[in-house]
Structure 1
């Protein structure tokens, strides 16, 4: 009996990182959307009694959450060395943030938030790992000596 082997192809590290950041971004969006269903959340937003209750906090949160979205494109377009280090630094930062959120969100209504935070921390850990182990290119002149 003949064994069937499915075809696969090599995916560039930049594309892998971009897709990982895209997945993280979607999870942030879903988490924030589903949080609107937590009792009292929309009332707190309307009356100004929320975590982002002033322009400075809102700006800082916007700046922080712009990073994963920007990393989708930057992971494709930046040169390898700066790309590698930005992915390591921001991947580590967001892993730490997500783990902090996971450990401080214990409540019946926020179990979805813990789930997303754990998944996001796994994805950002993979980003750090992939970036840290960025494939090396062998110098053709060195190999011909």
Structure 2
């Protein structure tokens, strides 16, 4: 990337020690899990019954109404599952951050998992257990909100 920037006349960027480090992590995350999401959404859309679209067209529905009134509500369970899996996968990005930045990355990409890992290696068990409890509570609360939202907006 820096070779391309140099050939275009721009200064090189230290991607590991700049504000671009979080952009790199987001890019890696999207690159790693985007295909999985596309496959799940494609399967969800393929499972929407064509008879729903045909009857809506007979009733005079426009293309945007087909999407907003049929497709989006019918793939709500798939959307819920994808969001749930992406939440879980977002906590698994530690391996990539650790491989790229090491034990103590810059503050832009110092995640809770880095904090937990460093306290584990330093044998600081009180801070380790507190961080683990905070992480567990956060995941439980977000999952509870997801399940309540899905139950309230489910069409099945």
TM over 0.5: no
Question: Higher Cα Rg: structure 1 or 2?
Answer: 2
TM-score using structure 2 length: 0.29
Structure with bigger RCO (C-alpha 8 Å, 6+ apart): 1
TM-score using structure 1 length: 0.30
